[in-house]
Amino acid sequence: MGSIYLIRHGQASFGADDYDVLSPIGVRQAEVLGQHLLDLGVSFDRCVSGDLRRQQHTARAALEQYANTGLTPPTIEQDAAFNEFDADNVIRHLLPELLPQEPEALHILRNGAQNRAEFQRLFALLIQRWVNGDYASTDVPTWASFVSQVAGGLQRLLQLAQSKDNIAVFTSGGTITALLHLITGVTAEKAFELNWQIVNTSLSRLKFRGSDVALASFNSHTHLELLKAPELITFR
């Protein structure tokens, strides 16, 4: 059987003007991940990333650990199917309908870094509405269309894969959530309950034989836990 390692990007710049940049912690997480994979003797036949900068930077920082030991890792391919859904777009178009019940929501969402717990509560409410189709706007791509996008990326991986390939996919939490939904049949709502637990640079592993795919492990972050540095275990 072959394996697909789903790797969530390192910590991005939550609360900054540009979220799509790894923080110093995010870079360190990616470096630790790369060394951990080396220590386990994991090598990759292919490496694929979405085209978001935080995903690509995570891939480069992790694979540099291979290069530092004289190994030549695979070229990082790009496939936008493994991009994160546009959370800002979801918030922008669904928030107006939430404001009558949550009049402070706009302020909280604009200042999420200072209101992390409330930000997460409101974001989860908006995502629930998005997943359920409980909104009037026609200007936001649907959850179903996002799942279809991710499914297309998975299909392309499988079509090109050899039977015992190890494939790394550097991606995001929402993409991993869509894959959980597709592969295990868990409802979208339950999949997003798991989403909130996905640690930055965690490993989730899929096993495949031909077009058959199964979930083998989820959200492993032993590489961070072993360092006994709680600040490296982040969720956003």
Supply the mean pLDDT for the chain: 94
Q: Are 55 and 171 in contact (CB under 8 A)?
A: yes
- Distance (Å, whole) CA 27 – CA 16: 16
pLDDT at 15: 63
SS3 199: coil
Superfamily of domain 2-83+164-232: Phosphoglycerate mutase-like (3.40.50.1240)
Give the relative orientation of helices 188-195 and 116-132 as an angle to the nearest 10 degrees: 160
CB contact at 8 A, 215 and 204: yes
pLDDT at 39: 95
Rounded alpha-carbon distances, angstroms, from residue 81 to 4, 178, 195: 15, 11, 18
pLDDT for 32: 98
Instruction: State the Cα–Cα distance between residues 44 and 33, nearest whole angstrom.
Output: 14
pTM comes to: 0.93
Q: CA-to-CA distance for 227 and 236, rounded, in angstroms?
A: 19
Does residue 27 register a pLDDT over 70?
Answer: yes
User: Given a cut of 80, is residue 150 above it in pLDDT?
Assistant: yes
The rounded percent of the chain whose pLDDT value lies above 70 is 98
Q: Residue 111: is its pLDDT beyond 90? A: no
Q: Is the predicted pLDDT of residue 162 greater than 90, yes or no?
A: yes
For residue 219, which phi and psi values (nearest 5 degrees)?
Answer: 65, 35
48-64: average pLDDT: 97
Residue 175 pLDDT: 98
Residue ranges of alpha helices (H) inside 24-172 are 24-40, 53-67, 87-98, 105-110, 116-132, 143-160
Residue found under tokens 């799509």: 20
For 84, how many CA atoms within 13 A lie in the half-sphere containing its CB?
23
User: Does residue 14 surpass a pLDDT of 90?
Assistant: no
Query: pLDDT tier at 126 (50, 70, 90 boundaries)?
Result: very high
Would you give the distance in Å from CA 13 to the centre of its chain? Answer: 15
pLDDT (tens digit, 9 = 90+) per residue, 168-212? 999 999 999 999 999 999 999 999 999 999 999 999 999 999 999
Query: 113 phi and psi, to 5 degrees?
Result: -65, -25
Largest CA distance in the chain: 59
Give the integer Cα–Cα distance in Å for 212 and 56: 28
Per-residue pLDDT, 16: 67
> pLDDT (tens digit, 9 = 90+) per residue, 206-234?
999 999 999 999 999 999 999 999 999 99
pLDDT at 17: 65
The full set of domain ranges for the chain reads 2-83+164-232, 87-132
